[in-house]
């Protein structure tokens, strides 16, 4: 499993789906927002939690189609399906590799980008917590969409359409957690909901992704 994780990390970086692509897209989104809504600090501070979460969500979408595509093209996916290790474990490792190369850099850079949107200092901590809890769910759900579209030519748009509805609950509670943290309100409810969504996703979605892969490779 460790060897598979290291292999996926190397492939993600070499294929251009690593740290730089997601961060660059995230920075572009955060930079363009003030030009669109105006430089008023009050407005920027109010919409900052939602904008930061939308930017992180869209950045995670950029490399989803690469999760299984490279393995499918070179035949490695067939070997992984017939390998003695559980396919659900393989899916989980690929989701972890995607999160390390895409989600984790966003978690680290988000507080810095939040300054550009005049995010309240009290919300910086909650932004990191929200992204740290929520972005793993985005990667795991992304593996399900990638498994459904594996083998399809130009399936990137279809993948995005399939995955985005499942991202909405994470987006809602993640942005709400940051908003409440910025306003000094109670954060227990969105925090528990976000953690529950991620826990359920990590526990259940790999089985659905593995089943989808088996169906597509028949």
pLDDT of residue 80: 80
pLDDT of residue 17: 52
Give residue-wise pLDDT tens across range 36-54: 888 788 888 888 899 999 9
Residue 72 belongs to domain spanning: 2-216
pLDDT of residue 6: 80
Residues 6+ apart with CB under 8 A from 213: 68, 77, 81, 87, 91, 147, 150
Rounded CA-CA distance 132/195 in Å is: 10
Rounded CA-CA distance 215/27 in Å is: 38
Give residue-wise pLDDT tens across range 126-151: 999 999 999 999 999 999 998 888 87
Q: Which of 218, 185, 174 is nearest to 78 (CA)?
A: 218
pLDDT of residue 16: 55
pLDDT of residue 18: 55
What parts of the chain have a pLDDT lower than 50? none
CB 124 within 8 A of CB 48: no
pLDDT of residue 23: 85
What is the count of structural domains for the chain? 1
């Amino acid at each position: 499993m460790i060897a598979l994780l290291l292999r996926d990390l190397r492939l993600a970086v070499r294929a251009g789906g690593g740290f730089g692509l997601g961060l660059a897209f995230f920075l572009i989104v955060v930079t363009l927002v003030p030009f669109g809504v105006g430089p008023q600090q009050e407005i920027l501070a109010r919409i900052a939690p939602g904008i930061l979460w939308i930017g992180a969500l869209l950045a995670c979408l950029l490399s989803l189609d690469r999760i299984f595509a490279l393995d499918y093209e070179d035949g490695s996916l067939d070997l992984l399906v017939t390998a003695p290790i559980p396919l659900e474990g393989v899916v989980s490792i690929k989701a972890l590799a995607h999160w390390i190369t895409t989600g984790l850099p966003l978690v680290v850079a988000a507080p810095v980008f939040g300054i550009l949107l005049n995010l309240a200092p009290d919300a910086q901590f909650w932004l990191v917590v929200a992204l740290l809890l929520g972005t793993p769910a985005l990667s795991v759900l992304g593996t399900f969409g990638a498994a459904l579209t594996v083998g399809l030519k130009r399936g990137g748009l279809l993948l995005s359409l399939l995955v985005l509805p499942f991202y909405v609950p994470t987006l809602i509670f993640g942005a709400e957690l940051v908003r409440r943290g910025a306003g000094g309100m109670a954060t227990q409810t969105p925090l528990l909901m976000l953690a529950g969504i991620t826990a359920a996703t990590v526990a259940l979605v790999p089985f659905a992704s593995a089943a989808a892969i088996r169906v597509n490779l028949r």
